[in-house]
A and B are shown apart, each in its own frame.
Chain A
Amino acid sequence: MMADLLSFSAVRYAYRGDWLNRIQALHGVDLTVPAGSAFGFLGANGAGKSTSIKLAVGLLHGHTGEIRLFGERIGDHRLRARIGYLPEHPYFYENLQVDEYLRYLGRLSGLSGADLTAACDRVYQLLDLGDLRRRGLRSFSKGMRQRFGLAQAILHRPDLVILDEPFSGLDPLWRARFKEVMQVERARGATLFFSSHILGDVEEICDHYAVIDRGTVLEQGRLRDLVGAAPLVLTGEGPAPQGAGPAGDGHWRLEFGEDRRADVLASLPTGARVVRLERQRLALEDWFVARVRAHHGAGRRLAEMSQG
């Protein structure tokens, strides 16, 4: 059984707004990230993904509830030696060169000497930054900054790699490369925890997921359980069972859940022939939109307006 590397228990957090106003960003978040997993943290813009991440990496203080990192309550800055963090839209000092900057951040993570040089060489190779090591970050494009951002996050071989929207601003080639690098990190033994609202990426990389909306985790679990919960689709010919619809070419089609599989197959009308039985491919994006809309009713008003 995997131990939890990061866990949130009833975590509430409010930002200070104007004057005495406080903006409640998290409303009792419960979340567990198992060691060795690739965890996709899903949520729409403003759902609370970045706030949760900033609390985990120690950039925000003043929450209620409990956050545990590597089994210990957060607060001890030494715990952060074991995490790597890529912020959303990362910004860096403009006047430092890539090599200077990486070495600076590596030293802050406790690296020095030959270890630091080897660590820099590793990320140069992984992210094709070797030729850019003497370049100032002032001249970097958004995608190049993102590459540097991932490089500094994995530089010190952290146990937990926390990435906030890692694919933002990347072209398709670099998106693919980032996924490869994330797999390399995972193969090394690191746990990946990343936020995204691009669900295809999550589906491709993750084995665990959580959905957050308006500061509340709606659900979390294994991705394969979620995919396994997709309905089965039975296509057949001959006499159609009750509830089946036309599927073209004289075939009929019936959708049902895994729990009804045996009943449906046993109760097929005499003469009915099964052409194929397959699991409907889960469109994660559709599922996510439906899940979040069901939570806060977004789009309901738009639908009412279009009907009325």
Chain B
Amino acid sequence: MILVVANATAREALRGRTGLALLGFYAVAVLLSRIVGWITPTDGHLVTTDLVMSLQSVVGVLVAIATGTALVQSEIQSRTLYTVLSRPIPRWRFVVGKFAGLAAALIIGQAAMVALGLGYLAVTGAPVTGWLALAGAMTAAEVLIMAAVALALTAVSSPLLGAVLSIAVYALGHAVAGLPGLIHHLQAWQQTIAIVLASLVPNLGPYAYRAEAVHAVPLPWPELAQAAAYGGLWIALLVAITVITLDRRQL
């Protein structure tokens, strides 16, 4: 059942216009990134590579938030789920299937971006290493977490508020990574607030491996495994929140 829902969701998402439009935007932005490389006084290839990798994150997260907010909420509003949930499928399987399908579509989109980005870098003569591909995979993991964030926040609020809150979570999630260095400069009450806020959002720092990858700094495997497990737990938690919310939802 989960796979059946996931398959239909992935097809629907891959044929959607939003994702294709943002992928087109990514392609144009990647082509234009070389201009920044030309005008930079330092190593142009490094700057272009950094830009291409960052674009994958920005566009990927935008796609994740756009599709994550629409995944279940738009189905409720457009009533497309009436013909699905009136069949013998429990709601939790529907939500898990929907997220699995979206995740598959996002991974395909991310893989296309990595292939396009790295292909372009290779054509322009920039050094392309396996670390860059790994950085692309880490960004894809970040995108999946953000899709789950958007899904859960929309389930407990509304699509617009969910999208705004997701962007805030993305910003906070990256700020959390710098918290250990900052916290000693804060007063006690500020430290408490910072720790509470930090524990409410996923730490996206471990997935921002782009800068290191550009300089071919290796990523230790234990850190990679830890990041994968951490991301998986957050996704499971966020999907569970969505399941609980949808289960009580009046359709």
- Give the docked Cα–Cα distance between A100 and B15 (Å): 13
User: How many B residues are at the interface, by size bracket?
Assistant: 20 to 34
28 contacts between A and B (CB under 8 A): A58-B85, A60-B250, A61-B250, A77-B89, A77-B90, A80-B87, A81-B88, A85-B82, A85-B86, A87-B82, A87-B83, A87-B86, A89-B79, A91-B79, A91-B82, A93-B80, A95-B11, A95-B16, A96-B8, A101-B8, A104-B4, A104-B7, A105-B87, A107-B4, A108-B5, A108-B84, A108-B87, A109-B87
Say how far B145's CB is from chain A's closest CB, in angstroms.
25
Question: Taking the complex as formed, is B1 at the interface, i.e. its CB lies under 8 A from any CB of chain A?
Answer: yes
Q: Could you say which of A78, A89, A92, A149 has the most chain B C-beta atoms within 10 Å of its C-beta?
A: A92
Q: Which chain A positions have C-beta within 8 A of B84?
A: 105, 108
Most chain B C-beta atoms within 10 Å of own C-beta, residue among A79, A81, A91, A110:
A91
Q: Which 5 A-B pairs have the closest CB atoms?
A: A95-B15, A85-B86, A81-B88, A87-B82, A57-B86
- Complex contacts, B82 vs chain A, CB 8 Å: 59, 85, 87, 90-91
Residues of B contacting A54 in the complex (Cβ-Cβ under 8 angstroms): 251
Known A61-B250, A62-B250; further 17 A-B contacts with Cβ < 8 A: A16-B250, A57-B86, A58-B85, A58-B86, A59-B85, A60-B251, A80-B86, A87-B83, A91-B79, A91-B80, A92-B80, A93-B12, A94-B12, A104-B7, A108-B87, A108-B89, A109-B87
Which residues A33-76 have CB closer than 8 A to chain B?
Answer: 54, 57-62
Given contacts A62-B250, A92-B83, contact A80 B16 (CB under 8 A): no
Which chain B residue shows the least CB distance to A110?
B88
B88 near A109: Cβ-Cβ < 8 Å? yes
Residues of B within 8 A of A110 (CB): 88
B42 in contact (CB, < 8 A): no
A-side residues, CB < 8 A to B, are: 15-16, 54, 57-62, 77-81, 83, 85, 87, 89-96, 100-101, 104-105, 107-110, 149, 152-153
Nearest CB on B from A195, distance (A): 14
Closest-CB distance, A72 to chain B (whole angstroms) = 13
With A104-B8, A107-B4, A108-B1 already in contact, the answer to whether A59 and B80 are too (CB < 8 A) is no
Shortest CB distance A117–B (Å): 16
Best-buried of B5, B78, B86, B250 by chain A (most CB within 10 Å): B86
List residues 54-94 of chain B with CB under 8 A from any CB of chain A: 78-80, 82-90
Which partner residue on chain A sits nearest B3 by CB separation?
A107
Q: How far in angstroms is the closest Cβ of chain A from B129?
A: 37
Give the contacting residue for B83; candidates A95, A107, A149; CB below 8 A: A149
- CB pair A83–B8 under 8 Å, yes or no, is no
Give the residue of A15, A83, A101 whose beta carbon is less than 8 angstroms from that of B250: A15
Q: Which residues of B contact A149 (CB under 8 A)?
A: 83
Contacts between chains A and B (CB distance < 8 A), count: 78
Q: Which residues of A contact B185 (CB under 8 A)?
A: none
Question: Bound complex: CA of A152 vs CA of B82, how far in Å?
Answer: 12
Q: Closest chain A residue to B250 by CB distance? A: A60
* Chain A residues in 8 Å Cβ range of B250: 15-16, 60-62
Inter-subunit contact A78/B88 (CB<8 Å):
yes
- Residues on A with C-beta less than 8 A from B184 are none
| CA–CA, A24 and B5, complex, Å | 34
Report chain B residues within 8 Å CB of A77. 88-90
**CB nearest to B93 among chain A residues:** A77
Does A108 lie within 8 Å of B78, measured CB to CB? no
In-complex Cβ contact of A152 among B7, B12, B15, B83 (8 A):
B83
A108-B80 contact, Cβ under 8 Å, with A15-B250, A61-B248, A62-B250:
no
Contact B4 A87 (CB under 8 A): no
Roughly how many angstroms separate A91 CA and B251 CA in the complex, as a whole number? 14
Q: For residue B14, which residue of chain A has the nearest CB?
A: A95
User: Cβ of B88 and Cβ of A79 under 8 Å apart?
Assistant: yes
Contacts of B1 on A, CB cut-off 8 Å?
A: 108
A78 to B, closest residue via Cβ? B88
Cβ contacts under 8 Å, A92 to chain B: 80, 83
Q: Are A96 and B89 in contact (CB under 8 A)?
A: no
Asked if B87 and A100 sit within 8 Å, CB to CB, the answer is no
Instruction: Give every chain B residue within 8 A of A109 (Cβ-Cβ).
Output: 87-88
Q: In angstroms, how far is the closest chain A Cβ from the Cβ of B57?
A: 26
- Give the distance to chain A from B94, nearest Cβ to Cβ, in Å: 9
Known pairs A58-B86, A108-B1; A100 contacts B8 (CB<8 A): yes
- B81-120 interface (Cβ within 8 A of A): 82-90
- Chain A residues with CB under 8 Å of B248's CB are 61
The interface residues of chain B lying within 8 Å CB-to-CB of A94 are 12
B11 touches A96 (CB 8 A): yes
- The distance in angstroms between the C-alpha atoms of A101 and B1, with both chains bound, is 15
> In the complex, what distance in Å separates the CA atom of A79 from the CA atom of B82?
16
Question: In the assembled complex, which residues on chain A have CB atoms less than 8 Å from the CB atom of B83?
Answer: 85, 87, 90, 92, 105, 149, 152-153
Q: How many angstroms between the C-alpha atoms of A62 and B1 in the bound complex?
A: 25
Given A95-B11, A96-B12, A100-B11, A81 and B87 contact (CB-CB distance below 8 Å): yes
CB closest residue in chain A, given B249: A61
